[in-house]
């Protein structure tokens, strides 16, 4: 029944029209009617109807025998992109990460001495730390914080280490400023940060930075889990490769 419903609701002509638009996008110099018919596997009459419809609606232009996409499609794309944040579009990538491990996947940016959550895909297991978009946590003892701090300039990091409010959250929290600087340097060298029960006992997380096309660290994404679920070694072995793939997809989609 479900397949029948999908078939009944499927608009074949719209699908073929979208295919024609995709083909035009691959040929910015323009295409003739015959070339479109051959590549789209349409009759000349069918290709003509689709192309002239695109011209009539402003999505394509015709110059002599050549048909090309018009700038109107860029306007539509710009409107779509302007209506939501980067993290709205990154959410499906983060959801895949969360689903793979049944753990939360989060994204944050640096704001002063804190990280601010800009996206969150909850895991199935409840953590005692209550988090949502807009939540703030100290950067010095969180994996996303260390990933973000590792992208600071030497002068900015020196200022942070000198002025940040640092307190012992658990017996494992690094509170020595020199030791914290070394942990951040290690995150920069490694390209990731693991924080093991420094924010809260029983909580581990691993994060990677998100870097824009200029090489600046603009955000970080992480996976957080109960320490009983993943050892530090298992996080690096199993979760890190998946996080790095997600990082690459986000960066390629938005910054390349």
- CATH code for position 113: 3.30.450.40
Return the number of other C-beta atoms located less than 10 Å from residue 18's C-beta. 12
Contacts of 183 (CB under 8 A, 6+ apart): 146, 174, 193
**pLDDT score, position 1:** 43
Contacts of 71 (CB under 8 A, 6+ apart): none
Same domain, 100 and 156: yes
We report the CATH number of the domain holding residue 35 as 1.10.10.10
Same domain, 191 and 142: yes
Q: How many domains does the chain have?
A: 2
Same domain, 25 and 94: no
Domain edge (last residue) among 14, 48, 78 = 78
Same domain, 220 and 94: yes
Q: To the nearest 10°, report the CA torsion of 237, 241, 242, 244.
A: 140
**pLDDT score, position 255:** 63
**pLDDT score, position 4:** 46
Question: Kindly report the CA angle at 26 between 64 and 40, in degrees rounded to 5?
Answer: 75
**pLDDT score, position 140:** 95
Prediction pTM value: 0.67
The pLDDT tens digits of the residues spanning 150-163 come to 999 999 999 999 99
Same domain, 99 and 178: yes
Q: Which residue range(s) make up the domain with 45?
A: 2-78
Same domain, 55 and 88: no
DSSP letters, 194-223, are: EEESSSSTTEEEEEEEEE-TTS-EEEEEEE
Same domain, 118 and 70: no
Residues of the chain with pLDDT under 50: 1-6, 81, 83
Domain edge (last residue) among 25, 54, 78 = 78
For residue 19, with 0-12 CB atoms within 10 Å meaning exposed, 13-18 middle and 19 or more buried, which class applies?
middle
Same domain, 245 and 229: yes
Domain edge (last residue) among 78, 113, 141 = 78
Same domain, 210 and 226: yes
Same domain, 226 and 138: yes
């Amino acid at each position: 029944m479900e397949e029948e419903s999908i078939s009944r609701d499927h608009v074949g002509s719209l699908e073929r029209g979208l295919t024609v638009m995709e083909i035009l996008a691959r040929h910015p110099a323009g295409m003739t009617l015959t070339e479109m018919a051959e590549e789209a596997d349409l009759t000349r009459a069918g290709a003509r109807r689709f192309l002239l419809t695109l011209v009539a609606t402003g999505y394509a232009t015709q110059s002599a025998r050549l048909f090309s996409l018009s700038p109107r499609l860029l306007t539509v794309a710009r409107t779509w992109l302007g209506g939501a944040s980067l993290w709205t579009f990154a959410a499906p990538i983060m959801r895949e990460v969360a689903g793979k491990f049944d753990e939360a996947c989060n994204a944050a940016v640096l704001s002063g001495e804190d990280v601010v959550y800009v996206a969150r895909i909850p895991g199935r297991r409840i953590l005692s730390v209550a988090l949502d978009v807009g939540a703030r946590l100290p950067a010095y003892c969180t994996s996303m914080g260390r990933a973000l701090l590792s992208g600071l300039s030497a002068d900015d990091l020196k200022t942070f280490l000198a002025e940040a409010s640092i307190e012992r959250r658990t017996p494992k929290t690094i509170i020595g400023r020199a030791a914290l600087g070394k942990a951040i340097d290690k995150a920069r060298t490694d390209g990731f940060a693991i924080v093991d029960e420094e924010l809260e006992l029983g909580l581990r997380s691993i994060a990677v930075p998100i870097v824009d096309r200029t090489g600046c660290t603009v955000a970080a994404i992480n996976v957080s889990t109960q320490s009983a679920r993943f050892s530090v070694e298992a996080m690096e072995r199993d979760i890190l490769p998946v996080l790095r793939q997600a990082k690459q997809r986000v960066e390629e989609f938005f910054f390349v």
